[in-house]
A and B are shown apart, each in its own frame.
Chain A
């Protein structure tokens, strides 16, 4: 009977011991230790759980239990490095909380959990070097040009040495001697806050009036093109310089040709509108060299899409490490959060409600954002080994033969059955945008199109059968279904292409491609007579059916 008493004694003492350990444990929370080392204005700060709540944003972030100086009204806590105050931003962290911008797990109170490094937390913190990706949660920077244009604008801004007086993105600016703040206003947020559109005239007048000082020595006249570049650069100053550059880079690789972002773009690849909040737990990290952060996955995916996602059809993005970093930053910024009306920023509102574009509307940017992926940044076409050949649409020979109508209609309707999608669709391109792309193509090729030509062939289609079979079917297929060369029986193609265009292409060929001109003989065949070419064109034309 005694042994039951021993059992009771031992297990009770054990339980008591464990409870004491558990109680100890709850007093040894890391945040308690961190807070007890903090010193506020009036001595030690009270040790307690702190949080930022915002019911509208559905925020309840306990991050401030460790990062105390970011809590409302506790900006001046001194002590460990963790008490460094937030750098000044438009959005007061005490109102917006932390996770809206930085991601992570707001309800957690331990570092690994809070920063989302643990398994099972789907929204880990955005790495600090990509911090600006957080802006994308709510904001949609508008009218961002492609990288080339953007670089040019930035170089112009630097060449003109505007930073001598103005501070931009934490650089430049001079403090006015004798007090009175900076020489010129800070331009870091010129793109949001706006700026005086008549600044140049005012600068000129002021420079003319002043007899000495920086106005006399530093300011000179600026020509029209440079003024435009400066205006463009200013419009992109939204306090997120890296994000803007990232977006400009994204608009240079033709990504929108296959991917949709916020309702604009192609449907070949997955919609990327929320690609930045992909749950890393759902991503396959088998072939990602190091780390398990989403940024690592995205970067590796840019380097070799097929290696990361076996079924991917995306071509590798031939880009430098810096460009991959920028693209990664942009993809990370593609995230959303449900916002109450009052919190929807103006740029996002303009994008979603008023149809403002996130890409600039000039032809070069549009080409860079939509076409460059397949047709190459200069429109020289692309040929993937064993894959599809993408035509060199900036080819002067080609552009010399086709009218603007041909180009526009091709962009509008695409080539059913081929990779080229029609862009006159929801989420595609607008009429004026197509016009600008065509104008840009003309610039690239340096060729005007021919005048509209109503000439049609008069030969009988049957007469061209043999000519076609002997000379064309090798590349274009026996029934014009396409092979190494483009499909000719394509309904839309035939509708758009005039007989003149077909004939001229046959006779002159297209430089830089496998299509040789048939008016000249080649080592393997004789030249074709014009009548033969006409009959072949008639034969091709017959595939269009009834309509001529």
Chain B
């Protein structure tokens, strides 16, 4: 028998299939084919689970740098950096008191790239806090929280809270003096409702403060239980919560029609430069309203050329650009400055001064007058105030514009004066003359809780914004004033807490004046 000239058909088929397998794998993965035309790019986006968070086309207004300044993407980028570096750090980190400290020492000194990765983690976390606050300010000042984005503003506040929580829980993990005493203070702030329940005399049977602290620490004081709890919160519970909220946040941006823009955005932009290729022609392939998924009409039927561009590649270049810029900033900071690691935690000698992370130092400044007001009262008030903004301001002028709304820039400038002026004045007074307890020792605690620099500052800001509402007959004007004021107060208090408070929380003009230890 001679060998067959050609292989049997089945074998030939197998060979062909094998040869075609790589191509087929690619084709089945990206069913839309190569994204070369607008149409294939569109299909590429909405058939990809990760990319379809983006709309297929994006308005040119969205791509202007001044619209969003990329702050949301920068926050996401910082989060991704902390996520990756955090997972890497978990290879070596041991969440048990002394072992924790030693493992951070190991990461610092001998783990290959360990110091750099830890620095990136620390700086990306800080960058994330900064950008999330700036992102919120941008959303506020462009009035982008208005219909239909009200609830997304609330989700954004949730994200802010979780971000701060992540930062705070991460603070304990190195188990050094800084960590130990910042968390001791933090846990006691959680317990500070006792300040009120004690004053009223009901702590015996109603003690929400004590319960909060106990749940947080799993014990009476910061110890191994607290460390494992903070670890669990830091690497599991809070990241999961953050990712869940983020998904909803992003999804809603898409559902709400992308970023807010002024009603007359198209006119302002004028005609797009160069040739325009409308995707939706007189005879669209399909309309959304037919699919009954989206409210409203088809975006473009009959409108002719419009001011959108394909997300791919225009939006992606912007997003990737911001992502890499954030990375660049974090890398640079990580190279310049090492994350701090003080001596091993010592429960019998408090760090002096014991300072929380910088973004909590504003609160710590308030806490130094009254634990409850600074730690729980004012933050809750601010959160409630922020959360109500989109439901109180139901006006329409100025949406999508910087400092839009009645009064606009003028109100903001005035509010800057009031905000800085009031906070500096009351701080200067309290630093120079002390507070009630220094004048009348016997004053009941409830009086101090109700009357202290924090509450007075909040009241001044509140009254000012009510006056603005009356003066401009506009809630938006009041909101602009109040938000600006609180931002100023936050900045002033944070700066004082960070730079001007020394041992025993005494005011010093510079750390050089601190008693030498």
Interface residues, chain A, CB within 8 Å of chain B? Answer: 1, 3-5, 7-8, 11-12, 14-15, 18-19, 21-22, 25-26, 49, 62, 105, 107-110, 113, 120-122, 279, 281-286
Does A113 contact B109, Cβ atoms closer than 8 Å?
Answer: yes
Does A11 contact B325, Cβ atoms closer than 8 Å?
Answer: yes
Residues of A within 8 A of B517 (CB): 281-286
Do A11 and B343 contact each other (CB < 8 Å), given the known contacts A1-B317, A109-B109, A109-B110? no
Does A15 contact B324, Cβ atoms closer than 8 Å?
Answer: yes
Could you write out 5 A-B pairs with CB less than 8 Å apart? A7-B322, A8-B321, A18-B335, A281-B517, A286-B517
* 9 nearest CB pairs, A to B: A7-B321, A8-B321, A11-B324, A11-B325, A4-B317, A18-B331, A120-B342, A107-B105, A4-B318
Q: How far is the CB of A105 from chain B (nearest CB, A)?
A: 8
Closest-by-CB residue of B relative to A65 is: B110
Query: Of residues 241 to 286 in B, which have CB atoms within 8 Å of A's CB atoms?
Result: none
Does A7 contact B325, Cβ atoms closer than 8 Å?
Answer: yes
A26 to B331, CA, bound (A): 15
A279 to B177, CA, bound (A): 13
Residues of A within 8 A of B317 (CB): 1, 4-5, 7-8
Does B331 contact A15, Cβ atoms closer than 8 Å?
Answer: yes
A1 to B314, CA, bound (A): 7
B515 near A: Cβ within 8 Å? yes
A19 to B335, CA, bound (A): 9
Does B109 contact A4, Cβ atoms closer than 8 Å?
Answer: no
Q: How far is the CB of A64 from chain B (nearest CB, A)?
A: 13
B424 near A: Cβ within 8 Å? no
Does A120 contact B102, Cβ atoms closer than 8 Å?
Answer: no
Q: How far is the CB of B390 from chain A (nearest CB, A)?
A: 30
Closest-by-CB residue of A relative to B113 is: A26
A105 to B110, CA, bound (A): 13
B388 near A: Cβ within 8 Å? no
Do A120 and B341 contact each other (CB < 8 Å), given the known contacts A11-B325, A282-B517, A286-B515? yes
Does A282 contact B321, Cβ atoms closer than 8 Å?
Answer: no
A22 to B330, CA, bound (A): 13
Closest-by-CB residue of A relative to B65 is: A3
A109 to B325, CA, bound (A): 33
Do A282 and B314 contact each other (CB < 8 Å), given the known contacts A11-B325, A15-B331? no
Residues of B within 8 A of A113 (CB): 109
Interface residues, chain B, CB within 8 Å of chain A? Answer: 63, 65, 102, 105-106, 109-110, 112-113, 116, 176-177, 309, 314, 317-318, 320-322, 324-325, 327-328, 331-332, 334-335, 341-344, 346, 349, 515-517
Closest-by-CB residue of A relative to B60 is: A1
Does B324 contact A62, Cβ atoms closer than 8 Å?
Answer: no
Does B331 contact A22, Cβ atoms closer than 8 Å?
Answer: yes
Do A22 and B116 contact each other (CB < 8 Å), given the known contacts A1-B63, A4-B317, A8-B321? yes
A49 to B111, CA, bound (A): 10
Partner of A282, one of B327, B335, B349: B349
Do A286 and B516 contact each other (CB < 8 Å), given the known contacts A8-B317, A21-B335, A107-B109? yes
Q: How far is the CB of B147 from chain A (nearest CB, A)?
A: 30
A355 to B176, CA, bound (A): 38
Partner of A108, one of B109, B309, B332, B515: B109
Knowing that A22-B113, A26-B113, A281-B343 touch, tell me 14 more A-B residue pairs with CB under 8 angstroms.
Answer: A1-B63, A1-B309, A4-B317, A7-B325, A8-B321, A22-B334, A22-B335, A107-B102, A108-B109, A120-B343, A121-B343, A282-B517, A283-B517, A284-B515
A8 to B324, CA, bound (A): 7
Q: How far is the CB of A117 from chain B (nearest CB, A)?
A: 14
Residues of A within 8 A of B331 (CB): 15, 18-19, 22
A283 to B516, CA, bound (A): 9
A22 to B492, CA, bound (A): 36
Count chain A CB atoms within 10 A of each CB in B324, B335, B342 and give the residue with the most: B324
A458 to B517, CA, bound (A): 65
A11 to B516, CA, bound (A): 43
A446 to B308, CA, bound (A): 112
Q: How far is the CB of B296 from chain A (nearest CB, A)?
A: 27
A281 to B344, CA, bound (A): 12
Do A15 and B109 contact each other (CB < 8 Å), given the known contacts A1-B317, A8-B317? no
Residues of B within 8 A of A1 (CB): 63, 309, 314, 317
Does B328 contact A15, Cβ atoms closer than 8 Å?
Answer: yes
Q: How far is the CB of A303 from chain B (nearest CB, A)?
A: 18
Q: How far is the CB of B241 from chain A (nearest CB, A)?
A: 29
Residues of B within 8 A of A282 (CB): 349, 517
Does B109 contact A110, Cβ atoms closer than 8 Å?
Answer: yes
Partner of A122, one of B65, B314, B335, B343: B343
A110 to B109, CA, bound (A): 8
Count chain A CB atoms within 10 A of each CB in B106, B176, B516 and give the residue with the most: B516
Closest-by-CB residue of B relative to A18 is: B331
A279 to B343, CA, bound (A): 9
A288 to B105, CA, bound (A): 30
Residues of B within 8 A of A18 (CB): 328, 331-332, 335
Residues of A within 8 A of B322 (CB): 7
Does A4 contact B314, Cβ atoms closer than 8 Å?
Answer: yes
A22 to B331, CA, bound (A): 9
Residues of A within 8 A of B176 (CB): 120
Does B344 contact A12, Cβ atoms closer than 8 Å?
Answer: no
A325 to B261, CA, bound (A): 77
Partner of A62, one of B65, B110, B116, B346: B110
Closest-by-CB residue of B relative to A51 is: B110
Q: How far is the CB of A3 from chain B (nearest CB, A)?
A: 8
A285 to B325, CA, bound (A): 45
A121 to B116, CA, bound (A): 21
Residues of B within 8 A of A12 (CB): 324
A377 to B515, CA, bound (A): 38
A261 to B349, CA, bound (A): 22
Closest-by-CB residue of A relative to B324 is: A11
Q: How far is the CB of B134 from chain A (nearest CB, A)?
A: 18
Closest-by-CB residue of B relative to A1 is: B314
Does A11 contact B109, Cβ atoms closer than 8 Å?
Answer: no
A122 to B346, CA, bound (A): 11
Q: How far is the CB of B133 from chain A (nearest CB, A)?
A: 22
Residues of A within 8 A of B63 (CB): 1, 4
A105 to B108, CA, bound (A): 13
Q: How far is the CB of A37 from chain B (nearest CB, A)?
A: 21
A109 to B324, CA, bound (A): 32
A281 to B334, CA, bound (A): 26
Do A107 and B110 contact each other (CB < 8 Å), given the known contacts A15-B327, A122-B343? yes
Residues of A within 8 A of B349 (CB): 282
A5 to B316, CA, bound (A): 10
A283 to B116, CA, bound (A): 32
A8 to B105, CA, bound (A): 36
Count chain B CB atoms within 10 A of each CB in A11, A49, A113, A285 and give the residue with the most: A11
Residues of B within 8 A of A283 (CB): 517
Q: How far is the CB of A291 from chain B (nearest CB, A)?
A: 13
A524 to B301, CA, bound (A): 126
A22 to B344, CA, bound (A): 28
Residues of B within 8 A of A105 (CB): 105
Residues of B within 8 A of A107 (CB): 102, 105-106, 109-110
A526 to B446, CA, bound (A): 72
Closest-by-CB residue of A relative to B115 is: A26
A3 to B325, CA, bound (A): 13
Closest-by-CB residue of B relative to A288 is: B516
Closest-by-CB residue of B relative to A14 is: B328
Do A122 and B116 contact each other (CB < 8 Å), given the known contacts A8-B321, A107-B102, A109-B109? no
Q: How far is the CB of A240 from chain B (nearest CB, A)?
A: 29
A12 to B326, CA, bound (A): 10
Residues of B within 8 A of A14 (CB): 324, 328, 332
Does A26 contact B110, Cβ atoms closer than 8 Å?
Answer: no
